[in-house]
Amino acid sequence: MYDSLGLGPYLPLILLSAVLGPCAIALLHWTTTSASIPVINKYSGDFFLKKAHAEFLANCKKLISDGIAKYNGPFRVMTTLGSRVILPARFADWVKNCKDLDHVQLVADEYFAHYPGFDGNGVVVHPSRMMITVTKTKLNQNWQVETFQQHISELLEDEWSTNDGNWRPVPWGQDAARYIGRMSSAVFVGAELARDAQWQRLILSYTINLFNGVRALRTWPRFTRKFIHWFLPECRTCRKQLAFARQLLQPVLNKRRQAIDEAINAKQSPPIFDDTIAYIEEIAAGRPFDPAATQLAFAISAMHTTTELLKQTLVDICLHPELIYPLRDEAKAAIEQYGWTTAGMFQMQLMDSVIKESQRMKPGSLVNLERKALKDVTLPDGSLLPEGTNVAVDTANMWNPDIYKDPAVYDGYRFYNARKAGGSASNAAQLVSVNSDFIAFGLGPSVCPGRFMVANEVKAALATILMQYDVRLPQGIRPQIIYYGFEMLSDPTTVIEVKRRTD
Ligand code: HEM
């Protein structure tokens, strides 16, 4: 089979890599550019990093706090995706301003942005920054808020409603992903594809498959990856999904082209389409771009991240039912005054605070500000990060008692009160604000441009749910945050109970 693909000359290399692969992984881990930086999960006799990886997956929070306590400077964690240098939280502002520590390069290199099938990442890191411009300039509009509300209402009506006045259990751990998938797609690709089950399955699974591809590729020595990716099943899946995205998107593009051509031929003004398919074309202004890869880029950036925030916030609201009435009243008043608009969402300041508090306690990752050193970098404490080192900053400021009073206590009013108090802390208390004490959306040149859309989408979803439904957790159930490597995940098995409100 390999010969029919013209791989004859590479066969010895492939076989060698297969045999030596595991040894090479271990060797690569210990011989990275950052080898002089101490490792926190290093154990005697653990040549193949079995114990290091197990500790990383199960006890990463402790590894990081141990590393900070022991070194009070940079240290390494051996992750299942390679060696990562962790910097203490006090370096966040410094990292933000350091031009030689780059987010884009890290994504490009470590997430294989230039490999076929990984094209979604390729779009995010493309020097034209077209997708980022669209996100920054177009994804905070009134019609989008209304669209979010319409789509989640439709889903809730189909899936949560009963007329018998009884409570019913719903699989919130899974529903949240589908709801965000649908609401976001309505804005990214329009209502038709948003309602398409195949499109939904594709955009929700692509990110997972992409990470599987990254993981699979990273287990191979660097010098083999350029051709081994053609054969790894995980990478093949990504390529197939890109092809499928093209197949599903093309009829929509054709229909639009035809409608525009017909209008022009009839000397009428062409129809205007309001979604990212149209926005990217406008921003591109004739420059080439790949519409399907762009949609996969939106999917990677937006779907799972926003799902996690929505999922956890509703769980936290159920855990603190005293918040439900004030949130509902606030939402009703805001909608009465401003409708489902960005102004209406801005008006929901308690909701903003509750979402931000959920994000503070479960930011999605134990580390953030992932960067690659473009050249040798000397940190303010004198430590050296050699060129090519991948770093990330400890998220621990979000739980620091010197910054947040009683940080382990969930306080839905925490940011609301800070905002009402006025002064310099007031702006920082908004969900979309970022600073070194709150880095869940990143910081600096690569700060998340999608956070305004996130705020509108999550508020529209929660306001709709709370205004239409009573919600609670089943008796005696308290969903726990799941720690998996660097990730902090909302429990995917969470069930909540809902009852349609009649008033
Ligand atoms: C709760 C949801 C989200 C979270 C927690 C989140 C978090 C982040 C983080 C941590 C970064 C890296 C920032 C840095 O390292 O400084 C980032 C970058 C990015 N995010 Fe988000 N994000 C979310 C939703 C979204 C959405 C909805 C979109 C698009 C519609 C989006 C688009 C992007 C893009 C394009 C980048 C790359 C920016 C660049 O490289 O300049 N994100 N996001």
Residue 496 belongs to some domain of the structure: no
Establish whether residue 458 lines the binding site of ligand 1, counting it when its CB lies within 6 angstroms of any ligand atom. no
Residue 432 belongs to some domain of the structure: yes
User: 450 CA to middle of ligand 1, Å?
Assistant: 6
Establish whether residue 450 lines the binding site of ligand 1, counting it when its CB lies within 6 angstroms of any ligand atom. yes
pLDDT beyond 80 at 500: yes
User: 393 CA to middle of ligand 1, Å?
Assistant: 16
User: 370 CA to middle of ligand 1, Å?
Assistant: 12
Amino acid at 421: A
User: How many CB atoms are closer than 10 A to CB 446?
Assistant: 18
Residue 210 belongs to some domain of the structure: yes
Q: How much is the mean pLDDT over the chain?
A: 92
Q: Is the dihedral of CA 432, 438, 441, 446 positive or negative?
A: positive
Domain assignment of residue 458, given as a range: 97-360+397-466
Among 87-91, 158-162, 418-422, top mean pLDDT goes to 87-91
392 Cβ contact partners less than 8 Å away, ≥ 6 residues apart: 84, 85, 86, 87, 367, 368, 369, 370, 371, 486
CATH number, domain with residue 430: 1.10.630.10
Residue 86 belongs to some domain of the structure: no
Rg (C-alpha) for the chain, rounded Å, is 24
Establish whether residue 188 lines the binding site of ligand 1, counting it when its CB lies within 6 angstroms of any ligand atom. no
Least confident of 107-116, 216-225, 344-353: 216-225
Buried b (16+ CB within 10 A) or exposed e, 140-149: bbbebbebbb
CB 481 within 8 A of CB 488: yes
Establish whether residue 138 lines the binding site of ligand 1, counting it when its CB lies within 6 angstroms of any ligand atom. no
Share of the chain above pLDDT 90, in %: 88
- Classified as helix, coil or strand, 438 is strand
User: 321 CA to middle of ligand 1, Å?
Assistant: 30
DSSP for 377-412, please give it: EE-TTS-EE-TT-EEEEE-GGGG-TTTSSSTTS--T
Residue 308 belongs to some domain of the structure: yes
Ligand 1 atom with minimal separation from the 308 CA: 1
Residue entry with tokens 């439904």? 469
Residue to mutate (ligand 1; options 133, 301, 372, 434; most atoms within 8 A of CB): 301
Residue 266 burial (CB < 10 Å; 0-12/13-18/19+)? exposed
Tokens of 119: 């094209």
pLDDT beyond 90 at 396: yes
Ligand 1 atom with minimal separation from the 454 CA: 27
Q: How confident is the model at residue 221, as a pLDDT?
A: 87
Q: List, for residues 254-306, the tens digit of each pLDDT value.
A: 999 999 999 999 999 999 899 999 999 999 999 999 999 999 999 999 999 99
- Classified as helix, coil or strand, 502 is coil
448 is in an annotated binding site: yes
* pLDDT bucket at 33, cuts 50 / 70 / 90: low
Q: List, for residues 39-61, the tens digit of each pLDDT value.
A: 999 999 999 999 999 999 999 99
Residue 378 belongs to some domain of the structure: no
Q: How confident is the model at residue 2, as a pLDDT?
A: 33
Q: How confident is the model at residue 162, as a pLDDT?
A: 80
* pLDDT bucket at 440, cuts 50 / 70 / 90: very high
Which residue has the least CA distance to atom 28 on ligand 1?
A: 450
pLDDT beyond 50 at 16: no
Which residue has the least CA distance to atom 27 on ligand 1?
A: 302
Which residue has the least CA distance to atom 22 on ligand 1?
A: 448
- Classified as helix, coil or strand, 84 is strand
- Classified as helix, coil or strand, 274 is coil
CB 31 within 8 A of CB 67: no
175 Cβ contact partners less than 8 Å away, ≥ 6 residues apart: 159
Q: How confident is the model at residue 35, as a pLDDT?
A: 74
User: 113 CA to middle of ligand 1, Å?
Assistant: 16
Number of domains in the chain: 1
Rounded CA gap, 469 and 371, in Å?
Answer: 43
Which residue has the least CA distance to atom 13 on ligand 1?
A: 442
Instruction: Tell how strand 384-385 and strand 377-378 pair up.
Output: antiparallel
Q: How confident is the model at residue 327, as a pLDDT?
A: 98
Put the strands of the sheet holding 82-87 in their side by side order: 75-79, 82-87, 390-394, 367-373, 101-102
Establish whether residue 181 lines the binding site of ligand 1, counting it when its CB lies within 6 angstroms of any ligand atom. no
Which residue has the least CA distance to atom 7 on ligand 1?
A: 441
Inter-helix orientation angle 451-468/324-338, to 10°: 110
CB 125 within 8 A of CB 108: yes
Establish whether residue 185 lines the binding site of ligand 1, counting it when its CB lies within 6 angstroms of any ligand atom. no
User: 286 CA to middle of ligand 1, Å?
Assistant: 26
User: 397 CA to middle of ligand 1, Å?
Assistant: 19
Residue entry with tokens 């503070």? 360
* pLDDT bucket at 32, cuts 50 / 70 / 90: low
Q: How confident is the model at residue 427, as a pLDDT?
A: 87
pLDDT beyond 90 at 1: no
User: 8 CA to middle of ligand 1, Å?
Assistant: 43
Establish whether residue 302 lines the binding site of ligand 1, counting it when its CB lies within 6 angstroms of any ligand atom. yes
Establish whether residue 306 lines the binding site of ligand 1, counting it when its CB lies within 6 angstroms of any ligand atom. yes
pLDDT beyond 50 at 225: yes
User: 297 CA to middle of ligand 1, Å?
Assistant: 11
Q: What ipTM did this prediction achieve?
A: 0.99
Ligand 1 atom with minimal separation from the 445 CA: 41
pLDDT beyond 80 at 373: yes
Q: How confident is the model at residue 10, as a pLDDT?
A: 39
Establish whether residue 104 lines the binding site of ligand 1, counting it when its CB lies within 6 angstroms of any ligand atom. yes
pLDDT beyond 90 at 432: yes
Residue 167 belongs to some domain of the structure: yes
Residue 318 belongs to some domain of the structure: yes
Which is nearest to 456 in space by CA: 435, 431, 434, 438?
431
Q: How confident is the model at residue 425, as a pLDDT?
A: 80
Residue to mutate (ligand 1; options 95, 121, 395, 441; most atoms within 8 A of CB): 441
Establish whether residue 95 lines the binding site of ligand 1, counting it when its CB lies within 6 angstroms of any ligand atom. no
User: How many CB atoms are closer than 10 A to CB 51?
Assistant: 15
Residue to mutate (ligand 1; options 448, 453, 462; most atoms within 8 A of CB): 448
Helix, strand, coil percent content, the chain, rounded in steps of 5: 60, 10, 30
Establish whether residue 488 lines the binding site of ligand 1, counting it when its CB lies within 6 angstroms of any ligand atom. no
Instruction: Tell how strand 469-472 and strand 496-500 pair up.
Output: antiparallel
Rounded CA gap, 458 and 184, in Å?
Answer: 10
Tokens of 376: 């040798």
pLDDT beyond 60 at 384: yes
